[in-house]
Each structure stands twice: as structure tokens, then as C-alpha cells.
Amino acid sequence: MALKRGLSSVGVQRSRSSGSRLRIVILFFFSIVTLLVFFVGQGLYISDEDSVQSGFGKQNVDWRERLASQSIKNLFTKEVIDVVSTSTADLGPLSLDSFRKGNLSTSWNFIGVESSVADKATSQSNQKATDLKQEMSQVKEGKLPNDDHSHDMLTNTLRRQLRDNRREKHVAGLVQKDDEATVKLENAAIERSKAVDSAVLGKYNMWRKEIDNENSDSTVRLMSDQIIVAKVYIIIASMKNKLDLQKELQIRLKESQHALGESTTDADLPHSASDKIKAMEKVLAKAREQLYDCKLMLGKLRAMLQASVEQVMSLKKDSMFLSQLAAKTVPNAIHCLSMRLTIEYYLLPAEKRKFPRSENLENPNLYHYALFSDNVLAASVVVNSTIMNAKDPSKHVFHLVTDKLNFGAMNMWFLLNPPGKATINVENVDEFKWLNSSYCPVLRQLETAAMKEYYFKADQPTNSGSSNLKYRNPKYLSMLNHLRFYLPLVYPKLDKILFLDDDIVVQKDLTGLWSVDLHGKVNGAVETCGESFHRFDKYLNFSNPHISQNFDPNACGWAYGMNMFDLKVWRKKDITGIYHKWQNMNEDRALWKLGTLPPGLITFYGLTHPLQKSWHVLGLGYNPNVDKKEIESAAVIHYNGNMKPWLELAMTKYRSYWTKYIKYDHPYLHSCKFSE
């Protein structure tokens, strides 16, 4: 408008007639110029914006490439990246997306992907923090107006900065934890790889997508099923007079049985197994077309199942019999050792058959052990393990009692191998004249005709079948097994004694047991009621009123094998008399089966003090799942069960705890061919 006024004033001063025309021309000219300037400027702005955006896009692409490269380096080692780069010819160009989509083998584990995302988030948070710092500096320098709006903006900025800082620390903590977890996994994998059998390493390939079949016996089971079905069809073919089909089935059956053999896994099968399967399937398909009858088939399968069950029960009974028989036997090496030692003993003059320090045998201030055994080697392990783990062996006294057959061997062994400074004495149970049938109910019962028939006519049919086999063990005929109920009579001068079975190993000093307060009880033992089969109702006949009216069926059982007996309280409460009372009532074995644990549970009912379980760990003679930590921390380990450590059927994993106390280079052991 100002320009328009100026032009108008100039036109008035010159001539009014020509002024209006000139004004129109000038206005038109400036309009054209203004339009040209506008379009030119707009074109330059768009060009600049495109160049800026393309530059930013290129920068963004470069940033993504760097981030992807860094993520790949974090994910894999240099060797893996080299292998991947050499595989691009087969797999095509690789990218981070191909890894995320799972296009490679299942053996890849993308632990580092999360860390790369975390790195991206961290860089973005750092960029935001930088922008916020710039805004704050502008406010402080006065470049931004300092009013209420700017104050609110500054407050919000500070809040965002605090949130971003917290988020950054949280992300950093997560990344650190992830790295620590990765290191732990790598270390654990390295340890596991050391234990891998080199024989199976060739089966694994990290580049394979598929994994080995977990059902390694699927083919074996298929062949077994075919054999069963073929047997059924052979019977049906015979019934329906299909002789040709029956003959063909028999031929294929023999071929499959021969190919299967005793294989338990697919790897054991011969290469021809697949051909046998196909041939069998063809003849079975033919049989299904001609012979299939649902009811008949079901009946034959049921008959076969019943026959298989009966066969399994028979084999189980035979296995139990053989197991019990093996537990009764004496290995040739131990028998040889006993014979050689016996011969050497009776060749000694009488003055050389005595043990030193006999004055300690009745000293109540020493630590006394009672060990009743007819196994020389087992007794030597008990004594050796106790002495080797004792703090002061000179204060330990061992009272060994054996039978007449092994008396010479037991004496000779400990005369040749004295237990250091400890005191030892060996007695013969047959020389205890007071232990006779008129005083001892067990001896009287063993002389009855019913008991002799039970023991020596094992082939007679019984209601309980082979379950009675375990009670026909010769140890139940020996008074060595029942002598534990007469301890005050065997050792009248002693106040306390620790009873040990011959199938135990001592691993720690046991003198602490003498200081355990039994609280007026007679027997200190480890309870076994943590296992359901060690309750009273598993040992005693609670259908008998004498048992049901006097005992709790859910009362905790306890273990023989390591028992601390207070002989003073024993004499005061007449424990042996209680034992005689119940033993007389069980003459017909109506209260319990044979053995010493059931009468022990009855005799010491309410008179047993529970010891800590670490004193006595049981089960090494029958349980393959005893915790190794419990074994190694136990003071005494017990091989109760049939799998004694001196037998060939012993469990190998537990045998070393016993054998380390045997000197296999001993001349007598070497001559009798003992081996570890």
C-alpha cells in the first residue's frame, strides 16, 4: 500500500491523464516479478529439503548397518561368522532378519539379540539426554523466554531426564545380568562337553535342522509287535486250515526273530532288518485279508497275555530264589582264606595264640564294641575302618564272637594283622555254656520238628510261596544272630557297648556316641520310619490280638547295625526277660516271621532313643539310589540287603567304600585270588 501511495503521488505531480496508465503497467510488472520470485524460492526449498532428507536417510541406513554388524559380532564368535560367510552359496545372502525368522538350524541360540536391542535403546536414550541438556543450557543462557511456560518446560525436561536415566540404568543392569547368565551357561556347557563320550560325537552336527530320534528302539518295538501278531495269525491259520499261509507266516516269523535276536535298540539291528519288516508286513496284510476275526483275535491275544504274565511271575520267583541263594553262599576266596588261616592257627603253639592288652577287656572307661560274625574278611573291614578313623585307637576295645568253624581263622587273622594300639579279643559262641535250649527259647524252637521241616524241606508248597526263602537263610539258624539279646550276660562288667554288624563300614570317629544322652532308654538307634515299609505293621502281624493290643502299627521302626546299648538300664528293666516272653509266644511264628528285627522292635518298644541319621546310613545292599552326599557324610554306612560288598552281586557304585579298607596285596588274600 505504501508503494501504491508513492506511485500515486508521483503521478499527480506529473500529469493526471497519463498517471493512471503508467500505474497499471507498473503494477502488472511487479505482479509478474513477484510470481517468478515465489516459484523460484519454492523450488530451492524443496530441493534443499530433499537433499537433507536423503542425507538423513543415508545416515540412518549407515547406522542400521553398523548396529546389525555389531549385533552379529555380539551373537557369534569370529569362527562362526567365517563358517556362515562360506555357506552363503547354499543358503543365499544372510541377514539379521534371517536369523530372527529361524531360517537356520535349530541348534542356533539367539541369546545376543536382546542385547543388541538393548544397545539400540541405550543409544537412543543417550541421544535424548543430549537433546535435553541442550534445551536446559538454552534456558539457562536466556535463549528461551523465562516465563511460566518455560519453567514448566524445564520441569518436564528434568523429569524426562530422570526417567531416562533410570531406564538407562535398568537396561544396563539387564544387559549385565544377561552377560553373566551367558558366561555361566558357556562354562556349564564346557564342563558337560568334557564328559561327552567321543564315540557319539559323530552323530551330532550343529548345522542339521533335524535332531536324532529320541525313540531309539522304535524299530525294535515294531518288529516285536509284528512277531506277536504273526504268532496269533499262525494259530488262526492252523485253525482255519490255511496251511500255505501258515507256512509263509512261520518262515517270516523265523526270519524276524533271527534278525531281532537280543537287540534292545535300533543300532543293534542288522542292516537287513528293514527288509525283514517289509516282508513281514506283506504277509501280515495278506493274513488280515484272509484270517481277520476280531473276537478270535482278541481271545488269542488275551491267552498270550495271560501266558506272558505267568511266565513273568515264574521268572520273578526264580530270580528271588537265586538272589536269596546267592546271598547265602560263601565266595570261594573267603572260604579259601578261612581254611588257610584255620590251618595256620592250629599249628601255632598255645602261648602264641593270645592277644595283648587283655586287661582292657573289662575296663568300663574305654570304648567297647561288640561284633558277632563268621566272615573273617567282613570283620576285618569293620575293625580296620573303625581304627583308621578313630582319634585315639588305644582306647578302643573290640569283642569279637564267632562260631566254632571260624574261630581259628578269626584268631589267626588278627594275630597276623593286629589293630594297632587297639585291644581285640575273639570268643567262640559254642563255649557259652549258659546259652542252651533250656534257657534260650530260640534254640529250643530250632530243635522242634516243625522248625526243622520248615528249614530243611524247602521244596514243600507253602501259602506264601517264595517269600519264605529269605527266612530260610542259615543266619537265622545261628546263635550269632540272636546273641545280641544277651549282651549283659556276655559282658557282665561293662556299662555301655556299641553293637556293630559285620556288613558296615565306619567312616568317622564314633567316640561321640558314648556321650549321647539316651534319656533313660536302653537302645540308641537311627529310626527308619521315613520309609513306609519300615513301620511296625510291615514286620508284625497286627491281625493277632497280642500285637494289635500292645503296639502301634504306625510306630517308627529303627535299624540294627549300629546300636548303642546302655547295659545298666538293660539289666534294670530285664530286657532279656522281655525278649524271652515274646519269643515263647511266637513259637508257631504267628506274631512275626523269623529274624531278629521284629523281636527287637517288640523288646525295645518305648525304650529306643532316636539318633541323628548321619550316624548310620542304610540301604547300600539293596537301594541303588542312596544319596552320595549322605553316604560320604555318614559316620557308618550299612550294606543291609542281599547285595553284600564281598559278593559278586554287590552294587559296583558302593563297593569302593568297603574295598578301600582291604589290603589286596596281603599274601593270604593274594594266594586265595581276591580281586578288587
Domain locations in the chain? 217-327, 332-457+471-672
pLDDT given for residue 47 in this prediction: 47
- The Cα 229–Cα 223 span in angstroms is 10
Maximum mean pLDDT: which of 114-118, 193-197, 454-458, 510-514: 510-514
- For the ranges 317-326, 537-546, 654-663, which has the lowest average pLDDT? 317-326
Model's pTM, two decimal places?
Answer: 0.58
CA distances from 653 to 622, 648, 649 (A): 12, 13, 12
Mean pLDDT computed over 556-570: 94
Q: Among residues of the chain, what percentage have pLDDT more than 70?
A: 67
User: Which cell is 191 given?
Assistant: 564342563
Residue keyed to cell 537356520: 104
- For the ranges 96-110, 346-360, 619-633, which has the lowest average pLDDT? 96-110
Please tell me the CATH superfamily of domain 332-457+471-672, with its number: Spore Coat Polysaccharide Biosynthesis Protein SpsA; Chain A (3.90.550.10)
Mean pLDDT computed over 161-185: 75
Q: Confirm if 599 and 620 have CB atoms less than 8 A apart.
A: no
CA distances from 544 to 225, 388, 537, 587 (A): 49, 48, 11, 14
* pLDDT band with cut points at 50, 70 and 90 for residue 369: very high
pLDDT given for residue 126 in this prediction: 58
Pairing of strands 562-566, 496-500: antiparallel
- The Cα 497–Cα 565 span in angstroms is 6
* pLDDT tens-digit readout, 403-420: 999 999 999 999 999 999
- The Cα 538–Cα 529 span in angstroms is 11
pLDDT given for residue 464 in this prediction: 43
pLDDT given for residue 210 in this prediction: 38
pLDDT given for residue 201 in this prediction: 40
Task: Name 428's bridge partners.
Answer: 402
pLDDT given for residue 6 in this prediction: 46
- For the ranges 19-28, 140-149, 595-604, 605-614, which has the lowest average pLDDT? 140-149
User: Which cell is 637 given?
Assistant: 554306612
* pLDDT tens-digit readout, 370-406: 999 999 999 999 999 999 999 999 999 999 999 999 9
* pLDDT tens-digit readout, 468-509: 555 555 566 678 889 999 999 999 999 999 999 999 999 999
Residue of 650, 641, 676, 673 whose CA lies nearest to 662: 676
pLDDT given for residue 320 in this prediction: 73
* pLDDT band with cut points at 50, 70 and 90 for residue 631: very high
